[in-house]
């Protein structure tokens, strides 16, 4: 059995047959406020203990750090979560400062995730896409891709993507489209190729690229997806629709609530975990002073 990637929560690791499989994608579904961000930050911070380097947080929420990543990180892990702002356009000096290498949070993709939010009315009363968002996205890549590349080169092997908004049709989600692009072309791009695309001109930075190769297949990713469903039963019955990234994910976790007597319990279940044994338990958890605590 291959080495596992610990989530930082012993009970959840046990439910996953020892942890996540390295280099795979896990999608976590749950309503806003259910604890997904706590889980993501726990996973990212645990990289420091497990592998000597914390994970990086990419926030796709258009309202800025409304997920309170910085507050949670400081309170739970004594982690000062700084924001990455370093940009590498073509043909410029690529190396980030020491301060930027301590910036594990990025919120450059500030768009709400529905295609209809980028539709504009036409003169005949219909609608058409405003494709200007693609130019904005391409410009943002000058910040997002170096964010991943330089942290991977420095030892990071964990990625958390947060802020994915609910959508009626996953295939209409700009956020899913952007994540898929980044996942295939940046997170799971081989280090040499990605380095040559970012560190231009290549001849000038060849020594740096060669000295900072890493195994892209060892980067493990958590995608946190907000749903309109709040009850665990509804999430367990949730159909994976066309365009839903969960269809190709290796692992799916759901986090929801149910009424138990005179209280509302928060519950977690592993729905899918390819290539490994997994628990069929539905486990209660709480958000305590130490973060996510599984019963």
Give the pLDDT confidence score for residue 280 in this predicted structure.
96
- DSSP H or E segment with residue 64: none
- Bridge pairing between strands 251-260 and 220-226: unpaired
Residue 63, in any domain of the structure: yes
pLDDT at 171 over 80: no
Q: Which of 288, 272, 219, 287 is nearest to 15 (CA)?
A: 272
Q: pTM for this structure?
A: 0.93
CA distance 217 to 152: 11
User: In total, how many domains does the chain have?
Assistant: 1
Give the pLDDT confidence score for residue 68 in this predicted structure.
85
Give the pLDDT confidence score for residue 127 in this predicted structure.
65
Residue 61, in any domain of the structure: yes
State the CATH number of the domain containing residue 168: 3.40.50
Q: Sorting pLDDT into bands at 50, 70 and 90, what band is 1?
A: very low
Average pLDDT over residues 190-205: 95
Residue 264, in any domain of the structure: no
Mean pLDDT rounded to a whole number for the chain: 90
If you write DSSP's letter for every residue of 159-188 in order, what string do you get? EEEEEEPP-S-GGGBHHHHHHHHHIIIIIT
Output the six-digit token pair for 109: 């993709």
Q: Where do we find the tokens 């695309």?
A: 197
Give the pLDDT confidence score for residue 205 in this predicted structure.
94
Residue 88, in any domain of the structure: yes
Residue 192, in any domain of the structure: yes
CA distance 82 to 264: 35
Question: How is residue 231 annotated by DSSP?
Answer: B
236 close to 254: Cβ distance less than 8 angstroms:
yes
CA distance 164 to 134: 18
262 close to 253: Cβ distance less than 8 angstroms:
no
Residue 274, in any domain of the structure: no
CA distance 214 to 157: 9
Q: Where do we find the tokens 């509804």?
A: 234
pLDDT at 130 over 90: no
148 close to 159: Cβ distance less than 8 angstroms:
yes
Output the six-digit token pair for 92: 């410029």
Q: Which of 41, 33, 77, 74 is nearest to 57 (CA)?
A: 41
Range of the domain at 42: 24-254
Residue 275, in any domain of the structure: no
CA distances to 11, 58, 152, 248 from 136, rounded to whole Å, are 42, 17, 25, 27
Beta strands in the chain (DSSP E): 25-30, 56-59, 105-106, 119-121, 127-129, 158-164, 220-226, 251-260, 263-273, 282-288, 291-294
Average pLDDT over residues 112-134: 69
pLDDT in tens, 64-104: 556 789 999 999 999 999 999 999 987 677 899 999 999 99
92 or 293, which is more confident = 293
Residue 94, in any domain of the structure: yes
Lowest mean pLDDT among 5-19, 83-97, 143-157: 83-97
């Amino acid at each position: 059995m291959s080495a596992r990637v610990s989530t930082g929560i012993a009970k959840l690791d046990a439910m996953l047959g020892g942890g996540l499989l390295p280099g795979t994608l896990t999608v976590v579904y749950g309503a806003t406020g259910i604890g997904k961000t706590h889980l993501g930050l726990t996973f990212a911070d645990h990289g420091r203990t497990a592998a000597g380097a914390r994970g990086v947080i990419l926030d796709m929420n258009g309202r800025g750090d409304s997920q309170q990543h910085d507050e949670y990180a400081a309170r739970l892990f004594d982690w000062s979560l700084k924001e990455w702002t370093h940009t590498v356009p073509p043909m410029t000096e690529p190396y980030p400062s020491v301060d930027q290498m301590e910036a594990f949070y990025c919120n450059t993709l500030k768009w709400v995730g529905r295609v209809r939010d980028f539709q504009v009315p036409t003169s005949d009363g219909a609608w058409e896409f405003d494709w200007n968002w693609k130019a904005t996205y391409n410009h943002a890549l000058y910040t997002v891709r170096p964010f991943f590349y330089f942290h991977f080169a420095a030892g990071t092997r964990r990625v958390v993507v947060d802020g994915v908004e609910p959508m009626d049709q996953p295939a209409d989600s700009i956020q899913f489209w952007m994540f898929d692009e980044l996942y295939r072309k940046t997170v799971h791009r081989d280090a040499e190729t990605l380095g040559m695309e970012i560190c231009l001109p290549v001849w000038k930075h060849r020594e740096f690229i060669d000295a900072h190769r890493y195994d892209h297949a060892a980067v493990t990713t958590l995608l946190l997806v907000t749903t309109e469903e709040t009850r665990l039963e509804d999430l367990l019955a949730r159909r994976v629709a066309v365009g839903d990234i969960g269809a190709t994910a290796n692992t799916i976790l759901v986090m929801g609530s149910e009424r138990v007597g005179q209280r509302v319990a928060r519950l977690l279940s592993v729905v899918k975990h390819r290539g490994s044994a997994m628990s069929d338990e539905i486990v209660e958890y709480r958000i305590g002073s130490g973060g996510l605590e599984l019963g």
